[in-house]
Amino acid sequence: MRILILGGSGLTGPHQVRYALQRGHEVTLFNRGRASLPEDLRAVEQLHGDRSTGDLHSLRGREWDVCIDNPTALPSWAREAATLMEHQVAHYIFVSTISVYADLSRPVSEDSPLARYEGTDPCAETLESLRASGMKLYGPLKAQCEREIRQRFPQASSIVRPGLIVGPGDATDRFTYWPLRVRRGGEILAPGTPADPVQLIDARDLAEWTIRLAEQRIPGVFNATGPGHGLTIGAMLDEIRAAVPGATTCTWVPAGFLAEQKVTPWSDLPTWVPADGEAAGMMRADTRRALAAGLRFRPLADTVRETLAWFDSLPPDRQASLRAGLAPDRERVVLDAWKSQVALGR
């Protein structure tokens, strides 16, 4: 097949390209040309433009079997690309997000209500206004992007809604924190209860399944997170501890106490959100539709070991600046405060 990938230089894109090439497909990338591709992918055809200015000229007059749209967060980008591609591709795959749902306090399925944009014109929003909102517009704008795609490809689109994407190359460190923390050893501040649900997906599993969707041209909407069985924060930490050498113990600290200590889920203690909080549904997405369409998962231990190997290959200054998780001294302070409270019988 001839596959056009919009983006292609981020977390999932290079994995999509490698997998597509392995399976004999021709790949074209469209991006601004500012990010450096891995050396093994630099021979892939690249077309350059800038979606922030509407510069899609290099795409005109070409045809592909499938377009995979990875980086779009703005409805104007979705509208312009889908309008252009309407007569140039047979199938459109849009990578969305689990954040599109209106109510994430409860479990969600693909049929759950979507967030609505409350402004006047979603296509007037820019990356700057998205950031200025504190990313509060992210879900509503992504939901509007989906509507733009489905309007132009009502029978020939796949909407993929990933949860937390992890693995080698993840610049956010939202999962990487935990393998690194286990490797450091000692007493670990574990959030909430061991039974709190967790969902995540290795970027390679997401990328490879996206290519298989393209091959089969399976239309529809899919929650794309995992694993296929129920995972909890306790089980996740146990699997990481089994895969990473080191002597560790876990001290479980309730969500309410963490809130009192101003320890924030998702950033200070990444991968986790309180099981009864306003974002609890992010970890309870129904994935049966994606599983039926062939989504599969590698063992978590593989993701752990390969994430650590990738992180260890980074420059020392990057390794010294973890982008998520508690600093060691802050973790110690919170643990000591919790133990003091327990000792007082509160």
Distance between CA 275 and CA 178 in Å, rounded? Answer: 19
**HSE (side-chain half, CA atoms, 13 Å) at 51:** 24
Taking residue 196's Cβ as centre, other Cβ atoms within 10 Å add up to 23
Could you give the residue ranges of the DSSP H alpha helices within the chain?
13-22, 75-85, 127-132, 138-152, 177-184, 203-216, 233-243, 255-260, 288-292, 300-312, 316-319, 328-343
Tokens of 18: 């490698």
**Which of 181, 141, 156 is CA-nearest to residue 326?**
181
Question: Contact at 8 Å (CB) between 84 and 59?
Answer: yes
pLDDT band at 52 (very low <50, low <70, confident <90, very high): confident
What confidence tens digit (pLDDT) does each residue in 119-164 have?
889 999 999 999 999 889 999 999 999 999 999 999 999 999 999 9
DSSP, residue by residue, 74-108: SHHHHHHHHHHHTTTEEEEEEE--GGGBS--SS-B
Show Cβ contacts of residue 201 under 8 Å, excluding neighbours closer than 6 positions: 162, 163, 164, 165, 166, 224, 225, 226, 297
For the chain, give the percent of residues with pLDDT over 70. 100
C-alpha closest to that of 166 among 155, 150, 177: 177
Residue with tokens 């110690």: 332
Out of 52-56, 248-252, 315-319, least confident range: 52-56
- Predicted confidence at residue 9, as pLDDT, reads 82
Other Cβ atoms closer than 10 A to 265: 19
In what helix (H) or strand (E) does residue 141 lie, and over which residues does it extend? helix 138-152
Angle at the Cα of 140 (from 137 to 144), degrees rounded to 5? 125
Q: Is 113 helix (H, G, I), strand (E, B) or coil?
A: coil
Q: Is 203 helix (H, G, I), strand (E, B) or coil?
A: helix
CA-wise closest residue to 99 among 136, 128, 151:
136
pLDDT tens, residue by residue, 163-186: 999 999 999 999 999 999 999 999
Report pLDDT for 272: 96
Q: Are strands 248-253 and 186-191 parallel, antiparallel or unpaired?
A: parallel
Give pTM, 2 decimals: 0.94
pLDDT, residue 41, reads 86
pLDDT in tens, 129-139: 999 998 899 99
Question: Rounded to the nearest 10 degrees, how much is the dihedral formed by the CA atoms of 153, 287, 10, 264?
Answer: 130
Length of the chain: 346
Q: At residue 343, does pLDDT exceed 70?
A: yes
> Quick one: tokens of 89?
């591709």
**The pLDDT of residue 47:** 94
> What pLDDT is recorded for position 346?
67
- What's the rounded Cα separation, in Å, for the pair 112 and 110? 6
Does residue 310 sit in helix, strand or coil? Answer: helix
Average model confidence (pLDDT) for the chain? 94
Enumerate long-range contacts of 135-138, CB under 8 Å, 24 or more apart: 138/73, 138/97, 138/99
Q: Spell out the domains of the chain, with CATH numbers in brackets.
A: 1-162 (3.40.50.720), 169-200+229-280+300-346 (3.90.25)
Q: Which band of pLDDT confidence, cut at 50, 70 and 90, is reported for residue 71?
A: confident
